[in-house]
Amino acid sequence: MQPLKKIRLPVHFYPLTAMVFWGLSFIWSSYLLKFYEPVTIIFIRLILSASFLFLILRLFFPAEQVARKDFKLILLSSLFNPFLYFLGENYGLKYSTPTISAVIIATIPVFSPVVAYLTFREKLSRLNFVGIAVSFAGIVIMLIMKDFTLAADIRGIIFLFGAVLAALFYSVMLKKLTGKYSALLLIAWQNLLGIFLFLPFFLIFEFDSVIHTIPTAGIVGSFLLLSILASSVAFVFFAHSVKLLGISKANIYSNLIPVFTAFFSWILLSESITIRKILGILLVVGGVYLSERTRKR
């Protein structure tokens, strides 16, 4: 992380840039879903990201290594993220919209205190329950139309909440590893192991469709942006922002992901921005903010 400090950019540049890239990742994935199935997108994304991250490690941090005794835990964490998390997120995005997907994924910090209580017996406060209720109300407003029909396919909603659940279990695994290794090293290995987890599904179900799709400049560009910026640079920037600002302040920026996704969906995909969506986003962001205030205290 030392080279990043020498750049001397404003402190808030790092978390803001990471959130922009993560907000845009829903747009890039949504574009690629027009040409490929979810497993193919994740598989190629992980190959590119792992290659880039191990190149950075080789050039700038050659001394960082994973102890053999920790490989089982890293493999288990890879099962939850990237494997189960990205399956849920990408299939959820396939049957939903970028904005709805980003809003549901943004509730991960809201439910994190519940998992922390169940696994580490960390105390829950009233604000935790208020945050969960407010965020859930925001999701309901976004998903339920005036005629009481769903604004997204039920399959997409189930997959997205599956991704949230996978991320929560992953956070438990991650807590046991971050004290030993840098985020860069962990993400590189998790992405590498994720490639092998996805490989059988890719070869059995989607390989034939891939070889018949001719990559265009837009497809190649989206894969590179998704892999390098969203899966690599954003994680490094966020890890650096945690060092500069602390966990609580850095996590507050995650509230902006659905805001950026909604904005870029409106600009790039012509997705309509209604009062209902704006209200839903504000409630979800407000619920996450209440939860983060609790952790800060």
Lowest mean pLDDT among 8-12, 71-75, 156-160, 277-281: 8-12
pLDDT at 1: 44
Cβ burial 63-82 (10 Å sphere, 16+ → b, else e): eeebeeebeeebeebbbbbb
34 vs 246, more confident? 34
62: phi then psi, degrees, rounded to nearest 5? -65, -20
pTM for this predicted structure? 0.85
| 108 and 167 Cβ atoms separated by less than 8 Å | yes
pLDDT at 123: 73
pLDDT at 247: 62
Could you count the other beta carbons within 10 Å of the beta carbon of residue 174? 17
Contacts of 194 (CB under 8 A, 6+ apart): 42, 46, 50, 78, 82, 83, 86
Lowest mean pLDDT among 140-144, 208-212, 230-234: 140-144
pLDDT at 273: 81
CA–CA separation, 52 vs 233, rounded Å? 10
Task: Report the share of the chain in percent with pLDDT over 90.
Answer: 44
Read off the tokens for 256.
Answer: 């902006």
144: phi then psi, degrees, rounded to nearest 5? -95, 120
* Number of domains composing the chain: 1
pLDDT tens by residue, 95-137: 999 999 998 998 887 787 777 777 767 676 777 778 878 888 8
pLDDT at 275: 87
pLDDT at 243: 72
pLDDT at 41: 96
114: left (phi over 0), alpha (psi -120 to 50) or beta: alpha
pLDDT at 5: 46
Any idea what the Cα angle at residue 77 is, between residues 121 and 205, rounded to 5°? Answer: 135
Mutual angle of helices 98-105 and 154-177, in 10-degree steps:
40
| 36 and 255 Cβ atoms separated by less than 8 Å | no
Instruction: Find the mean pLDDT for residues 134-149.
Output: 81
CA–CA separation, 76 vs 73, rounded Å? 5
pLDDT tens by residue, 215-268: 999 999 999 999 999 988 888 888 777 777 766 567 677 778 888 999 999 999
Q: What mean pLDDT, rounded, does the chain reach?
A: 86
Alpha-helix runs per DSSP H in the chain: 2-7, 13-32, 38-60, 71-78, 85-94, 98-105, 108-120, 126-143, 154-177, 183-201, 207-211, 217-224, 234-245, 247-252, 257-268, 275-296
Coil, strand, or helix at residue 8? coil
| 222 and 28 Cβ atoms separated by less than 8 Å | yes
Q: Which of 50, 36, 34, 20 is nearest to 193 (CA)?
A: 50
pLDDT tens by residue, 75-87: 999 999 999 999 9
Question: How many residues are listed for the chain in this entry?
Answer: 297
Read off the tokens for 129.
Answer: 């329950």
Residue 292 has pLDDT above 70, yes or no: no
Task: Report the share of the chain in percent with pLDDT over 70.
Answer: 92
Instruction: Find the mean pLDDT for residues 28-33.
Output: 95
44 vs 13, more confident? 44
CA–CA separation, 136 vs 248, rounded Å? 22
Question: Can you give the residue range of the structural domain that contains 139?
Answer: 2-296
